[in-house]
Amino acid sequence: MKLSNKIKQSFSLKENNLLKIDSTAKFFIEIFDLEDLKNIQNFTSTKKINFCILGEGSNVVLPNLLNKFVIKISFNEISIEDNLITVGAGKNWDDFVLWTLENGYCGLENLSGIPGSIGAAPIQNIGAYGSEVSNFIEEVICFDMESNRLVSLNNNDCKFSYRQSIFQDEDSLIVVKVKFKLTKDFQPNLEYEDLNFLRKEEISPFIIREHILKIRKAKISDPQEHPNVGSFFKNPIISLDELEKIKQILPRIKFYLYIDNKVKISAAFLIESLNLKGFALNNARVSEKHSLVLENKSEKSEDILDLASHIQASVLENYNINLELEPQIF
């Protein structure tokens, strides 16, 4: 089938984003074949339109009209070579985590329950419960829209940091596969405070996964009932001097040692200290379960972005700290 026959115009993305925003893409295509990806460059050049990648819409805020060519990568294959596992970018992240455990591989259990696709994982360097995906990525295989060919980036090339990677700055790179280096030697990661009660000698990767799924269910609203994209704000990284100033106002502020004499402080603690947990503005509200989660009740993006701006302004005014947004705003 010709590429032009696979492209859809004025395509609704409402069921392709967890905030359930009624967004319409000018052009949309779902890619199952690398050859189709190679031909997209000609189409975008002819139409003079930019492209963007949309996975499962788990970390995006879409406009009502998206004047772009939206590409959904649906490569789902898995291949294994020793402890290296290569996975297509379209595979659901949590399905893959479960697959690794069922096949005897350890490491990703602390990242259980995170919504989204494999392709999105390295872009944001997803992390939770004392673990980050960059600790397990060996290589990311991408399609470069500028050179129209496949390129491979090793872990160092990806420039991973807290919720950051090179892919957020290199718009021409489309993640098509991710290669993970895992192990069958189970070394439990119990650093996260909610996991401290578990005893290393009595647990398995499945037990850790079970507890994390319970924690997530207790803290994060079901996006099918209360549309949300999980954490809406990053935890601020500040200097030790800045921490001392904050502690004078908030003596019980939660913080964690980071790198280069810096600390990561709890954005949730800052928000809750301003009594914003459960706060509603128009058709959006801060979740009563977790203050980093913003729930959307509108088909437009303005309401949830207005709420986010209100929270940012309040934190800045009271603590002189800028809260960065975690989802990508289109």
The residues annotated as belonging to the active site are 163, 231, 326
Q: Measured in whole angstroms, how far is the alpha carbon of residue 260 from the centre of its chain?
A: 25
Q: How far from 199 is each of 19, 173, 224, CA to CA, in Å?
A: 38, 42, 34
Gyration radius (Cα) of the chain, Å: 20
Q: Which two tokens stand for residue 180?
A: 């993970």
Collapsing DSSP states into helix, strand and coil, what is residue 264?
strand
Strand ranges (E), 13-158: 24-31, 51-53, 60-61, 65-73, 78-81, 84-88, 127-128, 131-132, 137-144, 149-154
For residue 117, which of 67, 75, 84 has the smallest C-alpha distance? 75
DSSP H or E run through 178: strand 173-181
Neighbouring CB atoms inside 10 A of 249's CB total 11
